[in-house]
Structures are given as structure tokens and as C-alpha cells.
Structure 1
Amino acid sequence: MAHVVIGTAGHIDHGKTALVKALTGTDTDRLAEEQARGMTIDLGFAFLNDNVTIIDVPGHEKFIRNMVAGVSTIHMAMLVVAADDGIMSQTREHLQILKLLNIPQCVVAITKTDLAEDEEWLDLVELDIRELTDGIFKSVDVIRTSVNTGVGIAELKNLLEQKAVTIQQSTDRGFFRLQVDRVFSMAGFGTVTTGTVISGDLKKGSTVDVLPGNIKAKVRGIQSHGLDVQSVQQGDRAAVNLSGVDKEKVFRGSELALPGKLKSIKKFTAHIQLASEMKKELKHHQRVRVHLGTAEVLARVHLSGKKKLPAGSKANVNLDLEKSTVAASGDRFVLRTYSPMTTIGGGTVLTTFIPKGVKVSSWVSALEVDPVQRFRQLVDSLSTQPHTISAWALLNQCTDEKVHKWITKLDLLTTEKGIVFTHKMLDESKKIIVSTLNTFHQRKPLRRSMGVDILQQESRLSTIWLEEVVAMMKKEGIVKFVESGLALTSHKVELVGSTAELSRKMENNLTEVGLTPVTTAELSQKFNENDKRVLEVLHVLKGDKKVSEIENGTWMHNENIAKLRQALINHFNQNNEMGVTDFKNITALTRKFAIPMLEYCDKQGWTDRSGNQRSKGDNL
């Protein structure tokens, strides 16, 4: 069977620690202060059997933070109520916390029955317990016990073991997570962290992320239930010996995770449920304590479109944290007031991601609690920047397989590269591309195409999405690739009027100058035109394969380039090498033009340079 963790709950002095000792033989009050004061302050741990761990939590209201850290990863609660006191204030608050954390099962132990006045009193205590727990758990078993007389101890242990066998583990995220509840160092071993594996598995020798802090650490060794093991899995209590991280860098509230799966955050969106017992309304921007996993973090609550939330209400909110922590979609947490510290509610993390450009208050309010429908909202919110399946898995802190299931349920579409999209997103992106290209063609009618990089900037579509949509549009005959850019299939460059006349004059001039390259500026000056118009005409001539750009801003007619190539062929038919002087004699160019033309020949593969000499190139 999978390992099961049981957490105690109940008022101070109701006998939780004594009961755990009677069940397991272990005194969980490990601190000297605890033993001196006779009061549990921090978490204690004991083994009921090889597969069941009991976490003993403090009952005093001052140590509720430790109690929440202890029960945040349990599978079942053991509520302890003393027969002589009955239900007390911390009994109620602990029950409230168990409800907020969605702990499914509970066994109630009425302790100190030897101090009860009579059976009728015990019946009343049990009745009160059943009324208080009604609606919180699927079922509640009540066992009457006494550690002094031994009454009910064996029966309680047997019941806990039976319940543990039936426990259903929560859904596994598919990657390793352990929320740290204790850190210590051992001579010769270094840093040791303990906690419950809440998803995935971990093997000795693996590397983990220690968060927050983004520290990489190596797993030197693992213990579970006091034994050295090679691996642990979901539900296991584990002590993980780490190398590569100092003890001071890890603390209760840290998390160990498979590298790259989780990130440190300072803000998340959540759905909260306020307790009906709240005495004051929750105000916008109110400072609260967030108990998330084993961490306690101070935060500000940002209500969406409201100034206050009354007791018992539900709402989506943003929580701005005062320090970094770790959270994943679906994680549950408890909310407590800053001062005085009382439990006011709890909630579920919806997302740690807010898309750019959305109106935050409207976005947060509309966010779905159901993870499948929420995924659809997230996909729709990124209509021009759709993500891949893997990227969505990282943003939702889940596996690619989980995202695939959501895609199937929602009838979403994916590209060959794994981009998730909808028909509406595709149609909108096509319209954006057509509009952007059309505007470009109207603005620059002599340009055959628009650079893809410029199209990406102006359309604001992500690079990978643009590539996918353009490929679809090309198959549909909407766009075409021209030279190194993109154009609408319907776009044609036509030279008319004065522009056609300028093109004829420029082409004639480039033909007449022979092998001497001409700059854009020289052509502009010769024909008394601005550089922009001359350059546009040159690009049209280039597209018609009449001219070529030798280097940036320097041009030559292709007929003359063909003559140059033939001259080189003739030279190398009779010679093995060619120097600069030879090239000047062949072309009648001055050194000013000969050097750049030689470099052009090198680039074309017509010549192969070695020092000051050139030989015949592979492309000649």
C-alpha cells in the first residue's frame, strides 16, 4: 500500500501527544522546551506501522502556524477531544482548517475518559462532536480512549490502520514535489530536509530545485520510516540528505521539486472561501497571513471590483506576497488575519500567470474555478501569442499528458509544433496578417514583399505562431514568399508614369557604367531624386533580376556582372592565379572599386582567396 500520513488536531492539553505515544511508543515532544512545559510547540513525528506516519501538531493558538504546516500534507485527521473539557476554541479552529484544506477523512478520539463523570456525559460530548463535524468529512468514527487505563487504544490503532488502507491518494501531478516541514544538519552528512512527498517520486542521486531561492542540489541519500531507501514516491514521509545547499538556505516552507517544473512567485490568483464565523469583513488590500503548504507568508489581498467581502462569501482575488514562495495551480491554503491571528478562510490557487494586456480586475473575477474551463480561458487570452503544449504544462504546473487531456475535452486544435489554438484565434491571426501586409503594400507599392521580421513586429504575433499561420495561408494561396519576404498573392509591382521613366533611366545608366559599381546616393544625385524613391526602384529592378546589390548601397547591372564572370573564366582558362593588379587590368577598375568587387567575387564563389592571390572558385 502507499504510505499514509495522519495528522492530529485538537485543543491544547487534550492529550494528543500522550495518545500518539500510546499508539506508537514514541514521545513526539522532541524539544527540551516542550518536555519542560508539557506542551507541544512544534511538529512531532511517529510511525504507527511501516506504512503509516502520524504527525503530532501543537494545540495552542500561538502555534497554529505550526499546526497548519503539519496538516497541509496529511491524508487523514485524528481529532482529539478531552472528555473532561469537551469541544473548545482550538477544536473548532482546527476543524475549520481541516475543512479549508479539504482533508477527506477524520477519526475522532475522545481522550481522558477516565476523568469523565459518567457515560451520559461522554454521550453528550460525542453528540457535540458529531454535530460539529457534520458536513466537513465524508464519515467520522468516534473512539473513546484513556491512556491511563488503556481503554480504546487498541481499537483506535486498529481503526486507523483499516482506514489507512482505504485512503485514496490525491491526483499525482506527475513530477516530484516535497514541501519541507523540518531542516537540520548532521555531522558528515550536511543538510537534511524532511517532508511528505505530495507528487511524483525521487531517487537517490537525483538533482532537485530548492525553492524559493532557485538552488540546485544533489540528493545524497533518502530515508523513509527510519530506513535508508533508494527512492520515495507520492504519500511517503521522507528525509532527504542534500549536497550543494547550506542548511541556512532551506527552511520550513521551502519546497523540493523536479528541476524546471516550479518557480518562485510573489503573486497568484486564487478562489477563496471566507468562514461564516468571521467577525469582520475582509477589506481590499488587507494584510493577511497565507498558510500555503508548510509556508507562512504575509500578503495583501486585492479584491476585484469590491472594497469588502462579508463573512461566508466566495470570490476570486489576487494575493500579493511580501516574500517569494512556491505555489501551483490547485494548491490549497489557509488565510488568517495579521493581528490578532484568527482563521478567516481558505482557498485554492487558480493560476500564477496573468496574461499581458488584460484588465486585471475583470480577468481575475471571470476566472473559472474548474481547471479545464480555466485552461480554455487561458488559451483564449493569448490569441496572438499562443503557447505550446509544453509551455502550458509549465504554466499550469502539470504534465504534457494533462494538457493533452484538456485539449481533447475542449476540442482545441494543435499545430505540428504543438501550439494550442482555436479556430477563432486562427481566423483572427489571418486577418491581422492580411491587414498588415495590405497596409505595407499600399504604403510601399514598389516593394515586392515585406520582411518577415517586420511583419512579426507590426502584427505582434509571436514568431513561432506567425510561422505556423503563414504556412497555412501559403497552402491556401493567400500569401506568397517573394525573395526573402512575404506578400499577398494578389500583390503585383507595376511601374507607371514618372516612376517607370525613372526606372528606365536608372537601368540605362547602370548598363552604361560597365563594371563600375554605383551607389544609391550617386543615382539620387544624378537624377535629382530622393534616396527613398531611388532605393524603391532599385529593389523593383532587383526583383526583376536586372540589377544586384554588390554591397550595402552599391549596385551593378546584371548584364555587366555576367560580363565580369565571363572575364574571370577567360583569365583562369589561361592562368592558375590572379592578383589585384591582374583584376584591375581585366576590369579597368581603380583600386577603390577593384577591392570591393574582388570581395563580391569571393562571396559568389567565383574566386578563392589565399593571401594576396586568388584562384578559381568552385562556382565559376
Structure 2
Amino acid sequence: AKVVTGTVIAGSFSVGQEVEVQPVGLRSRIRGLQTHGQKVQLAPPGRRTAVNLTGVAVEELERGMVLAAPGWLRPATVLDVRLHTVRYLRRPLRHNITVTFHTGSAEVEGRLLLLDRDEVPPGEAAWAQVRLAAPVAAVNGDRFVIRDPNDTLGGGRVVDTQARRHRRFHEATIGKLEAMERGSPGEVVLMAVAASEPVTLRELASGLDLAAVEVHSAVEATIESGDLLALDGQPLTEGTLLFSAAGLAALTDRMTDSLTEYHRQSPLRRGMPREELRSRLRLDSRAFDQLVALWAGRGDVKEGGGWVSHPEHEPHPDAGQQKRAGELLAALRAQPFSPPAPKDEDDLLSYLEDRGDIVWVDEGIVFASEAYREMVERVVAHLKERQTVTLAQVRDLLGTSRKYAQALLENMDQERITRRVGDERVLRGGVNR
């Protein structure tokens, strides 16, 4: 048996159901299902799910494959698409360029052929055909994104997954594609969001040939159907950030993969720094903060103190690391106010800091927590009695060196316990220690 994970995009899965792994066409049966670590009999759409498959070998599965009901998906290598270039594109998108094609969690190299023009300026739409180096599992209406090694170029909707090779600038071909693509305002809105997500309602309305009231109504209806998500909830405003359900599911998978890899490389750390995860996902701060809140609310992540982690991750030092942690704490406690500089073992120090055993005040300067508290209490007591304290006085008060006294005082300034006035420190107003 093999356990695979992903997000249910449409329909549902149930224990005992026969499924097909595409684009390779493997048949299997579902032995078990889990969502958020809990065994379930049914996995509904939108839920990140672990699926235990029978009769499938590990080496037969790759990232980007899709589970579906038998016969529902056909492998695709030539796809007709409606392409929207991103507004911030640095130069027009040209015909017959090499791109990386992303749909769902699949990522395949291919060539982009423009069918109705020679180039597409930033923020405009065109008919195109994508010819892939390897098959993907896709259906008509699926959202996609194309990138080059440096930038996101655009995205849109797959119109025909079983396309033939076309002549360029062929009126009958373009007419057929337009007829296939023509849909309701809701479908137009969904395609436009998927091409540039996340996008604000204001940006969406400005880029569509629809009345503002029509866009607003279509967005509300598409949210109601579950195909679109407003990150900051209702009521809708011009600044509301919109995501397609499929795009959010793919981004959630990327986020989970990033955290899993980080935990594998840094098992002692509580989580990935928020800014590092935001950078990996290529999101601005506003969208990222709202997404993390959404993921945390759904149980997809844990967050706090500037970090984000997989919900089931807990730092687990091995026997050797536990021994080294004990040795390090003993060394710090043996010289509490002048501790030895730790070796190059940042992960272990982060683990001890998260656990509350140490206070990391500066590069190369770490105090045992109880020593740090005692030092702060002595300095605060001195200040309450004499109102001011100098670096030399702190050094003598603690029987330590200038280096440690200075690091302590700078840390107390940062923690807003004290503030510097010339060469002296005073207690900040309202401090009661």
C-alpha cells in the first residue's frame, strides 16, 4: 500500500472506492482516508486528504499525478488555452517560447504557441496552444499558470485538453475556441481571478469587459458556489482579495510541501520563519497574512511567534542531541553571568530557546533563562534605588565582563525594560518589576 496526499478538488473519495492514477492510468482502490490526522470514511471537496492506496508501488507515483474515478481523466500533451498575461510582465510574451506549465500540482516543460497574434502585451489575453514534453492530467476548465525561470508570465483556463495542432491565424479555429470558452459572467470572473490570483475586486473589475455591478454579482455567486474565495470575508469591498478554489488548493499544497521540507532539514526548529515561507510562496504581506490566518483556522498550519509549522510537527531531538542539550545547559549554568560562547549549533539553540531554557541576547551570547532573569532583576532593583545605571556599574554589579554587560543592556533596551540616555540607562515609564 502507498499513502498519497493532496487536496480534493471536485467530487469526493470514499473508502473502498476504485480510482485511477493519471496521467499514467494505474488502477487502484482506496484502503483508508485521513483528514487532519483523523480517519474518515468520506473525503469531501476542498479538504487536504491522505489516501491509502492498494496495489501501487512507491516508484510508480510522482508529484503532480491526479486521483480520479476510472475513465474521468485522459492524459493531455496538447492543450488549447485562453491565456491572460500578468499586468507586471516586463516585456510582451512572444510566440513559440519555452515555458513551465503548472496545473494543479503538476509542473511540465512545454512550448507556448500563440494562435491569434505574434506577441501578447502585459495584462492582455490571447488564444494559445501549449505543447508539453510529458502528459498531464487535466480537464476542460482547469486553471493553469505559465512561468519562465524568473517570472510568472500568465495563466488562464484550459479550453480543450484533447486539442489537435492548429494553423495559426485560422478564423475557424479561433471561432471554435471562442464558442467553447464563451460562458456566463461567473465563468469569466473565475478565469480572470485564476490568471492573476490573488486579485482585488477593484483590479478584477477594471480588467473585465463587464459592468461593475455585473462583476460584483458574478463574484458573489461564484463565492456562493464554492469556486471562488474572498480571503477577508463578506461583505465584499473594492479591496477584497479573491482566490479561485483550485488556485488556493494548489497553493496550499505548495505551502505544505515547503513546510514538510523545512521540518525535514531542521527538525529541532519549532517552525519556518513567516517571512521565509512568504518569500517561497511569492506572496505580498497582506495576502500572506490572510492566508496564514485561513490555514490556521482550518487546521492546515500552526503559527505563532513569527513562525509557521505543519500542524503535527513537534521538535524531536535524538539521543545525541538531547545529550548535547544537557551539556550546553550545564556549561551555561556553571558560568551564569559569563557563559561560554556556543558552538555553531543554531538549531539546537533555537530548540532550547523555544523550550524556554535559554535567552539568546546577541550573536554568540546566550544565557540560561534563570541567569538572565536574575541579571535583569538585579539591574531593575539598582535602577529603582538609584534611577540610573552605567555599563561599568552593570559589569561590576554582575561580576562579569563589559561584553556581557553591554549585550544584556542592549537586550533590555530592545525588550523595552530600559532606555538609553547618554551613557546611562533608566527604567522605561510604567515598568513594574
Q: Cα gap change, 1:379/1:607 in structure 2, threshold over 3 Å: closer, same or farther? A: closer
Q: CA deviation at 1:502?
A: 0.4
Q: Distance in 1 between matches of 2:299 and 2:113?
A: 47
Secondary structure class of the residue paired with 2:367:
strand
Match of 2:43 in 1: none
Match of 2:213 in 1: 401
- Rounded Cα–Cα distance in structure 1 between residues aligned with 2:349 and 2:405: 22
Residue 373 of structure 2, aligned match among 562, 566, 585: 562
Aligned residue among 609, 616, 620 for 2:420? 609
Map 1:228-377; keep pairs closer than 5 Å: 317-318=116-117, 320=119, 356-357=152-153, 368=181, 372=185, 373-377=187-191
Q: Output the CA distance in 2 between the equivalents of 1:399 and 1:613.
A: 65
Map of 1:81-120 to 2, 5 A cutoff?
Answer: none
Q: Contact 1:480 / 1:486 at 8 angstroms: preserved in 2?
A: yes
RCO higher in structure (CA 8 A, sep ≥6): 2
Q: Distance in 2 between matches of 1:381 and 1:494?
A: 41
In the alignment, which of 412, 415, 424 is matched to residue 231 of structure 2? 415
Deviation at 1:599, TM superposition (A): 1.8
Aligned to 1:523: 342
Return the match for 1:441 from 249, 260, 263: 263
Cα offset, 1:320, TM superposition:
4.7
550-559 vs 371-380, which deviates more?
A: 371-380
Q: CA deviation at 1:617?
A: 3.1
Aligned 8 A contact 1:545 1:558 in 2: yes
Quote how far apart the aligned CAs of 1:466 are.
3.4
For 1:71, the equivalent position in structure 2 comes to: none
Q: 1:401 to 1:555 in 2, by over 3 A?
A: farther
Quick one: which amino acid aligns to residue 342 of structure 2?
L
- Kindly tell me: are residues 266 and 495 of structure 1, through their superposed partners in 2, closer, same or farther at Cα, counting changes over 3 Å? closer
Distance 1:354 1:319, change over 3 A: farther
Structure 2 residue matching 1:421: 3-state secondary structure: strand
Partner of 2:276: 454
Among 429, 435, 443, the residue aligned to 2:251 = 429
C-alpha contact (below 8 Å) 1:386/1:462 kept by paired residues? no
Residue type matched to 1:413 in 2? L
**Alignment counterpart, residue 359 of structure 2, candidates 530, 533, 548:** 548
Correspondent of 1:381 among 160, 181, 195:
195
- How far residue 437 of structure 1 moved from its aligned partner, in angstroms, is 1.1
The code of the aligned residue for 1:377 comes to M
Question: Are 1:517 and 1:554, in contact at CA under 8 Å, matched by a contact in 2?
Answer: yes
1:135-284 equivalent positions in 2, closer than 5 A: none
CA deviations 1:290-318 (Å, max 9, x no partner) are xxxxxxxxxxxxxx858xxxxxxxxx623
* Offset of residue 398 of structure 1: 6.2
Distance 2:217 2:412 in 1: 57
Once the two structures are TM-superposed, the CA of residue 327 in structure 1 deviates from its matched residue by 10
State the alpha-carbon separation in 2 of the partners of residues 431 and 611 from structure 1.
53
Distance (whole Å) between structure 1 residues aligned to residue 212 and residue 146 of structure 2: 20
What CA distance in whole angstroms lies between the structure 1 residues aligned with 2:123 and 2:384? 74
Q: Whole-Å Cα distance in 2 between the matches of residues 563 and 266 of structure 1?
A: 61
In structure 2, distance between residues paired with 1:360 and 1:426: 15
Q: Following the alignment from structure 1 to structure 2, what is the Cα–Cα distance between the partners of residues 567 and 320?
A: 71
Separation of aligned partners in 1, 2:268 and 2:393? 40
| 1:585 maps to amino acid | D
Cα 1:319–1:371 change in 2 (3 A) is farther
- Which stretches in structure 1 are left out of the alignment for 5+ residues? 1-261, 270-283, 286-303, 307-315, 330-352, 525-530
Do the aligned partners of 2:342 and 2:366 also contact (CA within 8 Å) in 1? no
How far off is 1:413 after superposition?
A: 3.2
Cα contact 1:430–1:469 (8 A) shared by 2 = no
Equivalent residues of 1:452, 1:485 under 8 A apart: yes
- Which amino acid is the alignment partner of residue 538 of structure 1? L
Matching residue of 2:319: 497
Q: Which residue of 2 aligns with 1:507?
A: 329
Distance between the aligned counterparts of 1:461 and 1:514, measured in 2?
Answer: 43
In structure 2, relative to structure 1, the CA distance for the partners of 1:266 and 1:476 (3 Å cut) is: closer
Q: 2:407 aligns with which of 569, 572, 596?
A: 596
State the one-letter code of the partner of 2:199: H
Relative to the length of structure 2, the TM-score reads 0.55
Deviation at 1:541, TM superposition (A): 0.5
Question: Structure 1 residues 615 and 487 mapped into 2: Cα distance closer, same or farther (>3 Å)?
Answer: same
- Equivalent-residue separation in structure 2 for 1:601 and 1:427 (angstroms): 44
Give the conservation status (yes or no) of the 8 Å contact 2:315–2:351.
yes
1:258-293 alpha-carbon deviations (Å, 9 max, x no partner): xxxx99x99699xxxxxxxxxxxxxx99xxxxxxxx
- Measured in 1, the distance between the counterparts of 2:410 and 2:270 equals 28
Is the CA contact 1:577–1:613 (under 8 Å) kept in the aligned structure 2?
yes
> TM-score, normalised to structure 1's length?
0.39
In 2 relative to 1, CA 397–560 (structure 1 residues): closer, same or farther, beyond 3 Å? Answer: farther
Letter in 2 for 1:317: D
**In structure 2, what is the Cα distance between the partners aligned to 1:361 and 1:418?**
22
536-545 vs 605-614, which deviates more?
605-614
Q: CA deviation at 1:453?
A: 1.7
What is the distance in 2 between the residues matched to 1:616 and 1:413?
A: 49
Structure 2 distance, partners of 1:327, 1:591, is: 59
- Cα offset, 1:389, TM superposition: 0.9
CA shift at 1:446, angstroms?
0.4
CA distance in 2: counterparts of 1:328 and 1:433, whole angstroms: 29
Q: What secondary structure, in the 3-state scheme, does the structure 1 residue paired with 2:329 have?
A: helix
> Which residue of the partner structure matches residue 273 of structure 1?
none
Listed one character per residue, the Cα deviations across residues 130-152 of structure 1 (whole Å, up to 9, x for unaligned) are: xxxxxxxxxxxxxxxxxxxxxxx
| Partners of 2:359 and 2:251 in 1: CA distance | 35
**Aligned residue in 2 for 1:120:** none
Aligned in 2, Cα 1:320/1:434: closer, same or farther, shift over 3 Å? closer
8 Å CA contact 1:328, 1:396 repeated in 2: no
Report the secondary structure of 1:481's partner residue. strand
Count of residue pairs the alignment pairs up = 280
454-463 vs 556-565, which moves further: 454-463
Q: In the alignment, what sits opposite 1:130?
A: none
Q: CA-atom RMSD, angstroms?
A: 4.0
- Specify the alignment match of 2:350 in structure 1: 539
Amino acid at match of 1:380: A
CA contact (8 A) 2:198 2:242 kept: yes
Amino acid at match of 1:497: A
What secondary structure sits across from 1:542 in the alignment? helix
Cα displacement (A) at 1:612: 1.7
Task: Tell me the residue number matched to 2:23.
Answer: none
Structure 2 counterpart SS, 1:543: helix
Q: Distance in 2 between matches of 1:327 and 1:439?
A: 34
Cross-structure match for 1:483: 305
User: How far, CA to CA, are the matches of 1:445 and 1:327 in structure 2?
Assistant: 43
Greater Rg by CA? 1
- The question of whether the paired residues in 2 share the 8 Å contact of 1:477 and 1:489 is answered with yes
Q: 1:425 to 1:551 in 2, by over 3 A?
A: same
| Letter in structure 2 aligned against 1:379 | V
